[in-house]
Amino acid sequence: MKYSSEVMVMQQRNSTKSIVRCFLISVLLCLNLSTASAKDVTQEFSAEDIGTLETRDVIVNMKNLQFKGQIGYLTVPQVRSKQDGKNIKIAFLHIYTNNQSSLSTSSVPIFRFHGGPDNEAQLAEKLPFDFMQTVNFSKPSNAPIEITYDIEYLYYSRYLEFADLVLMDGRGMGLSAPRLTCPRAPEPVDLMQEQQETRRRLTKILKECRAHFEGMGVDFAGYNLLEVADDIEDLRKTLGFKKIALHGASFGTQTALAYLQRYDAFVTSALLVGIEGLDATYDLPSEIQTATDQAIKLANANPGVAAMMPKGDMKYAITKIYAELEKHPRKYRIHPENSPPIDINFNAHSARLMLVSNGLVQNRGDAPFARSAGTARIPPLVLAMYHKSYKGIAAIVEKNYDGFRDMVVLNAAANVIDCASGISPDRLARIRKDTENPDDVMLGALAYVGLQDRNPGPLCHNWGVADLGDDFRAPFKTDVPLLIVNGEFDGVTPMGNAERLHEMMPNSRLVIVENSGHYSTEIYHFDEEFHKVSADFLRTGQFPERLQNRVVLPPIKYDTLPWGVVMLFKLKLGNWLM
């Protein structure tokens, strides 16, 4: 299960009221939802021969560095088992190392796989969604296109010191064509309902989306990790590389494992950060709870956080919030500027939703490049809810609702790929055991949001796709060296996933990152030595002697409120503050 969300944060901090406003509550629980900045352009299926490359030379700017490369499409079958002539295009960016001025087939490039899965994939994180439509592949000029791509500059630039880097968008996502962005997405209010009502609303939207794309010739049988692994292999062969190294984060680790399962003979090494195994699409609630406990333990150890919390314990405060909202749920009618009036519900479910979407068990939230959400931002939110400042929270939601609505995008390919991965009987049995008493899990039903009546995929039947089966999910071994890295309070891809993969793979090392959650970029920002060690591993295919089993990042810098502001909340003036 993957949570992703965006939180819009107001920047002014010059008054008591604006201090509190900075901790804006996101109401977006993303079930493979992401953000978009451009209108989708749906393409008709092309009839190019399989394996055709369409490329254009580029100059890639990363901060103060420049690299040569190529951007383009690889044409592949929509469904390889069907000879129906329907093809799709996989978008990729191939950046050349500065140690060579042109394409090299002698070095070992690094193939980097994106997380999610979501609408942006990785190329659309920095390039407009319609970028490929602006490129003339049929008559390329001599002058390369200049682009800026520096979102993961921290480790991309180090990799490019010794290897080419290939970034590929998954089928149906990012700049790949067609991109399967559903014509309609949920409203934020749809995601704040009780679980059953949220599922009802999402089901209607998914059915509309399926009918829309099937009417255009999309065959969802082609959207699964076996096809994705074959896409990677086709790209490797077409670019002429004998061997490749892999780097995946989050869903990207599942992509890498799917490729390793079929094509490990062509892999020299794999760096996997935030592990999602082939049988880990649905996380174990007990392991999400372990991550939650660790995140709260870290928060309680901070004197500023402890001073804000009743009994100095954030877990106690959260438990009381849930109990209060179970007995006395709140409802407020908001009037967004460009939307009709909407009823916002505050109940135990929506409280859990706020904690998840604001990143309690996702990332630190205090790095310079961090998204607004993160565990560092949680304490003021807990304080506001504990002192029942829901009217103030609703006012902030009202002010920003239109922005929230415009950010929510639903990608069919992302949903279908997850659904096809399925769940094994053994893992389902463990989840059923975990959920015998949902009250034991602080995130409640959110800890198994992918399940309904403890069966997999309550929304998956809407797509009509087949499960890949237990052979796909079965444990497998490879001699390829795997460097496995996981954050200690990662509740998106919990530590148990990493530990099981390490036990399964004979030639692997596990690195546990303390004071870290899900986002791999945190590690590279805070620990320069690990940055160097992981790059050396990919360069040599061997574990460096200086590789440590634990990486300790600096303590998290939590958002805390001044003593006077905390007192105003205690005096029930929180609604005015917000």
Please write the tens of the pLDDT for every residue from 162-218: 999 999 999 999 999 999 999 988 887 777 777 778 788 888 999 999 999 999 999
408 occurs within a structural domain: no
In which band, very low, low, confident or very high, does the pLDDT at 502 lie, cut at 50, 70 and 90?
A: very high
User: What are the Cα distances from residue 272, in Å, to 15, 109, 115, 265?
Assistant: 44, 16, 11, 18
Token pair belonging to 81: 């088992």
Q: Domain tally for the chain?
A: 1
Q: Is the pLDDT of residue 47 over 60?
A: no
398 occurs within a structural domain: yes
- Residues whose CB falls within 8 Å of the CB of residue 245, separated by 6 or more in sequence, listed in order: 108, 109, 110, 111, 163, 267, 268, 269, 270, 271, 538, 541
User: Domain range holding 365?
Assistant: 16-36+287-402+564-577
Quick one: which of 265, 211, 239 has its CA closest to 412?
A: 211
HSE of 37 in the Cβ direction (CA atoms, 13 Å)?
10
For residues 535 and 184, what is the distance between their CA atoms, to the nearest angstrom? 42
368 occurs within a structural domain: yes
The DSSP element (H or E) to which 430 belongs, if any, is: helix 425-434
How many residues are present in the chain?
578
- Which of 56-65, 360-369, 384-393, 564-573 is least confident? 360-369
180 occurs within a structural domain: no
For residues 251 and 87, what is the distance between their CA atoms, to the nearest angstrom? 24
- Residues whose CB falls within 8 Å of the CB of residue 262, separated by 6 or more in sequence, listed in order: 226, 229, 230, 233
pLDDT tens for 257-305 read 999 999 999 999 999 999 999 999 988 888 988 999 999 999 999 999 9
Angle between the N-to-C axes of helices 390-407 and 378-386, in degrees from 0 to 180, rounded to the nearest 10: 130
- Residues whose CB falls within 8 Å of the CB of residue 285, separated by 6 or more in sequence, listed in order: 431, 434, 435, 438, 441, 443, 447, 448
498 occurs within a structural domain: no
Q: What is the DSSP letter of 302?
A: S
For residues 19 and 5, what is the distance between their CA atoms, to the nearest angstrom? 22
Query: Structure pTM?
Result: 0.89
318 occurs within a structural domain: yes
| Residue type for position 571 | L
Q: Three-state SS string across 104-170, please? A: CCCCCCEEEECCCCCCCCCHHHCCCCCHHHHCCCCCCCCCCEEEECCCCHHHHHHHCCCCCEEEECC
Cβ proximity of 368 and 525 under 8 Å: yes
Q: What is the DSSP letter of 309?
A: S
pLDDT tens for 102-150 read 444 457 999 999 998 988 889 988 899 999 998 988 776 678 999 988 7
Tokens 């499409």, residue?
73
For residues 303 and 536, what is the distance between their CA atoms, to the nearest angstrom? 39
- Which of 71-75, 235-239, 440-444 is least confident? 440-444
For residues 237 and 231, what is the distance between their CA atoms, to the nearest angstrom? 10
The DSSP element (H or E) to which 510 belongs, if any, is: strand 508-514
For residues 264 and 251, what is the distance between their CA atoms, to the nearest angstrom? 18
In which band, very low, low, confident or very high, does the pLDDT at 41 lie, cut at 50, 70 and 90?
A: very low
| Residue type for position 502 | H
- DSSP codes of every residue in 344-397: EEESHHHHHHHHHHTTTTT--S-STT--S-SGGGHHHHHHHHHTT-HHHHHHHH
For residues 417 and 411, what is the distance between their CA atoms, to the nearest angstrom? 10
Burial profile 477-498: b = 16 or more Cβ within 10 angstroms, e = fewer? ebebbbbbbbbbbbbbbbbbbb
Between 553 and 103, residue with greater pLDDT: 553
For residues 51 and 538, what is the distance between their CA atoms, to the nearest angstrom? 27
How far is C-alpha 270 from the geometric centre of its chain's CA atoms?
A: 19
Q: What is the DSSP letter of 244?
A: E
350 occurs within a structural domain: yes
Angle in degrees, CA 468, 473, 474, rounded to 5: 130
In a 10 Å sphere around its CB, with 0-12 CB exposed, 13-18 middle and 19+ buried, how is residue 187 labelled? Answer: middle
243 occurs within a structural domain: no
Between 39 and 92, residue with greater pLDDT: 92
Mean pLDDT taken over the chain: 84
For residues 465 and 222, what is the distance between their CA atoms, to the nearest angstrom? 9
